[in-house]
Amino acid sequence: MVFQRSISVSLGMVLAPLISLSCADIGQAAESIIVRYKSEEATVTRKDLNRFAETGEMPADLQKLLGTDAQVPNGVQTLLREEIKIPRFVERFIEGSNGDFLLLKLDDAISSASGSTERDLNAIRTAVLDSIADNRVSFIELIAKHPQTQIQLDLTSLEGTYKDVRGFVERVLPALEVAKGVLQDLVCDCDTAKSAVEPAVDTPEGKQYQSANTVTDRHSSQNCNHLEPTEQAIPIETK
């Protein structure tokens, strides 16, 4: 009994510093954001960035970074808060392989210090999926939901990223959904028309025809029920 108690005490002494360090790292991750503008950068707290987005009050480091021209801070504040309406089917798109295209665009503005790796794309994917429950998203919300320990915010590309993402989500993706529905109807109509002209099964020609097309019919039926989005890259139209 004494031996077991000594082991428990020893484990507690070993694990306590590790847990403390882990919690400290998480706390630091929730506060520090590297803000870049042109060739300069400054580090601000998440609290200060949120206050700036909500009220326009700038911390000294951010004010020095953006300069005295009021148009720049005002534009940045608007872009951070501006919400993009998200259709419900976007969640399915983000979770698929095609979603990487949109995630890479977001990564131009919000990323981790390590660069655009698969892990970083998964991080921004997590931030997006956690943010679109109310069918809308903003940059300041993505920053709040980003799980990476070091976050970089590139103000130089913020406006371009906003326009690209909004154009893609509000115009291109809905058009793709409509096209997918039309293609699905065409596949189903083709299957129906083909069935109407098939030879009778009880003839030798009919049995041979049925055997040769069994696999094709099964594949077409599956496509009718579930048509995947196109993998072709779609050019973005911006306002």
Q: What are phi and psi of 84, to 5 degrees?
A: -110, 125
The per-residue pLDDT for 174 is 80
The per-residue pLDDT for 9 is 43
The per-residue pLDDT for 190 is 58
Cα(37)–Cα(41) distance, integer angstroms: 6
> What is the separation of C-alpha 187 from the centre of its chain, rounded to a whole number of angstroms?
31
> What is the separation of C-alpha 126 from the centre of its chain, rounded to a whole number of angstroms?
7
Within the chain, which residues score under 50 in pLDDT? 2-3, 5, 7-12, 14-30, 209, 212, 215-216, 218-221, 223, 225-239
The per-residue pLDDT for 230 is 43
Query: Scanning the structure block, which residue is given the tokens 């428990």?
Result: 8
pTM: 0.64
Q: Tell me: the pLDDT tens digits for 19-67?
A: 444 443 443 444 689 999 999 999 999 999 999 999 999 999 999 998 8
146: nearest Cα among 33, 62, 236, 233: 33
73: nearest Cα among 153, 155, 131, 15: 155
The per-residue pLDDT for 235 is 46
